Amino acid sequence: MQIDRNEVLRYLRCYNEELLDSAILNMVDECIAEIGQIARESSTYAVFEISGRGEEHVELGGAGIVLRGRSIAEHLADCDTCAVMAATLGGEVDRRIRTYSKTDLTRSIVLDSCATAGIESVCDICEESIKQLASEQGYGTNFRFSPGYGDMPLDVQPQILRALDAYRRIGLTVTESLILVPRKSVTAIVGFTKNKERSRRTCAICSMNGKCEYQKRGMTCGS
C-alpha cells in the first residue's frame, strides 16, 4: 500500500498546500505512517462469466448476482467476463479513527483521509492483479466500478460479499443500511474486454457530480 500525501491533502480539502503549517503537514506524514502500521489490508476477487444482460441489468449466474442499472450495463457492454473484487483496511483503522475522535479530533480527520487514500491504493493493487490475470487470458480490463456509482444501487453489496465469502476471507461485512464494515472497504466490478480503447472513470458517474468542491475550482479529484 502506498499512500500519496497529495491525495490525502485532497481528501482533507486542502486546496493549497502552501497555506498549511508544518504541524499539520507533519501530522499528515505521521498519520500515513500510522495507517501503514495498523492497516491489515486484504483483498479478494473472483472472475465470473456474464450469463445474461439487458439495458438495465447484468447477470453473473455463477455468482448468483444481478447487477442493476443502466450505467453498469454500459460499463460491461462489451465484456463477456468480469472480476468482482472486495478490499478492506481492516477494523483497527476504524477503531483508531474513532479513538482519536474522542481525544484528538484533528488527528482523527487526518487519519481518516489517509485511510481513504490507503484503501484506494489497496484497490489499485488488487486491480493490478486482476489486470494481469485478464491479460494472460488475452483481455484488457476497464476501470473498477463500485456499487453506488451512476445508477447502480448499493443493495447488491450483500450478494457481492456472499459470492466472495468476504467475511471469512477478509473480514468484510455489510450492515442493513448497506454500509460496508470495516468502513475503509470497497467492492467493485472490473470488466474484461477485448476492446483496446479502455474506458475511463468520469465525473458523470460520481455521486458528488455537481456538488464537488474540485469541480467548482475547475479541477478534478483525480480518482
> Which residues are at the interface with other proteins (CB under 8 A)?
12-16, 19-21, 23-24, 27, 40, 44-48, 62-65, 83, 90-92, 94-95, 98-99, 101-106, 108-110, 112, 133, 154, 159, 162-163, 165, 167-169, 171, 173, 175-179, 181-183, 207-208
Minimum Å gap between C-beta 193 and other proteins is 16
| Nearer to other proteins among residue 73 and residue 83 (C-beta) | 83
| Nearer to other proteins among residue 76 and residue 83 (C-beta) | 83
Hey, what's the cell of 164? 466472495
- Written as one string, the DSSP assignment of 8-22 is HHHHTT---GGGS-H
Minimum Å gap between C-beta 120 and other proteins is 18
Give dist(CA 188, CA 223) in Å, integer: 14
Give dist(CA 181, CA 173) in Å, integer: 5
Minimum Å gap between C-beta 201 and other proteins is 19
| 3-state DSSP assignment of residue 106 | helix
| Nearer to other proteins among residue 45 and residue 145 (C-beta) | 45
Minimum Å gap between C-beta 221 and other proteins is 14
Residues 6+ apart with CB under 8 A from 171: 42, 88, 90, 91, 182
How large is the angle between the packed helices 91-103 and 105-136, nearest 10 degrees? 160
| Nearer to other proteins among residue 200 and residue 223 (C-beta) | 223
Minimum Å gap between C-beta 199 and other proteins is 21
| Ordered strands of the 140-141 beta sheet | 42-49, 79-88, 185-193, 140-141
Minimum Å gap between C-beta 64 and other proteins is 2
| Nearer to other proteins among residue 67 and residue 110 (C-beta) | 110
Give dist(CA 77, CA 14) in Å, integer: 38
Q: Using an 8 Å Cβ cutoff, are 114 and 34 in contact?
A: yes
| Nearer to other proteins among residue 124 and residue 151 (C-beta) | 151
Instruction: Give the H/E segment covering residue 31.
Output: helix 22-38
